[in-house]
Amino acid sequence: MSGHNAMRRLEIRYDAYLAGDVGALLAPRAGREIAAALSSEDYVDGRKPDASTLLLPYVIWYRSRLLADPESQTGYQYALDAFFEALAYRPHLVPSEVVDALVRESLASGTAGNQAVLAMCLVDAAVTSAGPGHLPAAIELFRSGLATAEVSDEERLLLTCSCGIAYALQGSRTGDLADLDTAVDILHGVVDRTPAAASSRPRRLTALGNALTFRFDRCGDAAALDRAGEVAQEAVDLEPDEPAGLVNLSGLIWRRYELRRQRSDLDAAIVLAERGLAAATRADDTHRAGALSTLAGTLKSRYLCSGDAADLDRAVAALREAAQRSRRAADPQYPVIASNLAGALALRYGSLRERGDLNAALDAAERSVRAAPGAGPLRRTCLIGLAWVNYLRFRDSGDGGHLDEAITALEAAGPGAPSDALYGPLLNLLRRVRAEPHGDPTDAAGPLPGAFAEVETLLSAQQQRTALTGPAFKP
Got the DSSP string for 77-113? HHHHHHHHHHHHH-GGGS-HHHHHHHHHHHHHHT-HH
Task: Give the pLDDT confidence score for residue 472 in this predicted structure.
Answer: 41
* pLDDT 10s digits, 30-81: 555 655 555 554 444 444 444 444 454 444 444 444 444 545 455 455 555 5
Tally Cβ neighbours within 10 Å of residue 8.
Answer: 14
Q: Determine the residue type at 344.
A: A
Distance CA 268, CA 246 (A): 11
* Helix/strand/coil percentages in the chain, nearest 5: 80, 0, 20
* pLDDT 10s digits, 92-139: 555 566 677 667 767 776 666 667 777 777 777 676 665 566 788 888
Decide: 146 and 160 in contact? Cβ < 8 Å.
Answer: yes
Helix orientation angle between 135-146 and 112-127, rounded to the nearest 10 degrees? 150
Main-chain dihedrals φ then ψ at residue 134, nearest 5 degrees? -105, 30
| Domain range list for the chain | 241-331, 348-475
The class (CATH top level) of 241-331 is: mainly alpha
* pLDDT 10s digits, 127-170: 666 556 678 888 888 887 777 656 677 778 888 888 899 899 88
Would you say how long the chain is, in residues?
A: 475
Helix orientation angle between 449-466 and 420-435, rounded to the nearest 10 degrees? 140
> Taking the CA of residue 127 as centre, how many other CA atoms within 13 Å lie in the half-sphere pointing to its CB?
21
Tally Cβ neighbours within 10 Å of residue 438.
Answer: 16
Residues 6+ apart with CB under 8 A from 421: none
Distance CA 433, CA 447 (A): 10
220-224, 312-316, 342-346, 461-465, range with the lowest pLDDT: 461-465
Distances (CA, A) of 471 to 168, 374, 393, 435: 12, 20, 30, 40
Distance CA 187, CA 224 (A): 13
Task: Give the pLDDT confidence score for residue 8 in this predicted structure.
Answer: 67
* pLDDT 10s digits, 251-301: 899 989 988 889 999 999 999 999 999 988 775 566 788 889 899 989 999
Mapping DSSP to helix (H, G, I), strand (E, B) and coil, where does residue 438 land?
coil
Task: Give the pLDDT confidence score for residue 62 in this predicted structure.
Answer: 46
Shortest CA distance to 153 belongs to which of 124, 187, 190?
A: 190
